[in-house]
Amino acid sequence: MAQPLTIFDVAGRAMSAQLVRMNTTASNLANAGGVAGSEADAYRSMKPVFKTSYDKASGMATVDVTQVVTAGPAPTKRHDPNNPMANADGDVWESAVDETREMVDMLETARTYKNNVEVLQTAKSLILDTLRLGK
């Protein structure tokens, strides 16, 4: 029989999921404005797919990342014959990363991660206070 989830498990898994989200956002921002010689080679934004997991033993829910998928608009074709990445027709494909949206996602992710750190700190503090009462 599996052990029931603790608040530490729940917050830890949520922090892991937010770390994946932060890494995909950072990758998207790093590739904003990047160009390629073909649409197939052009960078596409990535987003994690989250799944809520319920623990019947504890009654708590947590989150897991099930996969990372490409999302958002297709790369934009632009005529730029002087670009070394241009194809035979002089076209390049620019990644369609929305930098503003990615920055908002990054701020939200950082805030959510910080909230989970605070949950862990509060739980730890409550456990220590409870132990002190027993002395």
Looking at residue 135, what is its pLDDT? 74
Is the distance from CB of 46 to CB of 23 less than 8 angstroms? no
Task: Report DSSP state, residue 52.
Answer: E
Looking at residue 120, what is its pLDDT? 93
Name the residue type at position 5. L
Show Cβ contacts of residue 115 under 8 Å, excluding neighbours closer than 6 positions.
none
Six token digits for residue 131: 């132990």
For the stretch 123-133, pLDDT in tens is: 999 999 998 88
Looking at residue 57, what is its pLDDT? 86
- Type and span of the H or E element at 30: helix 7-30
pTM of the model: 0.84
Looking at residue 1, what is its pLDDT? 54
For the stretch 1-36, pLDDT in tens is: 567 788 899 999 999 999 999 999 999 999 999 999
Is the distance from CB of 100 to CB of 106 less than 8 angstroms? no
For the stretch 36-94, pLDDT in tens is: 999 999 999 999 999 998 988 888 898 999 999 999 899 999 999 999 999 999 999 99
Looking at residue 5, what is its pLDDT? 81
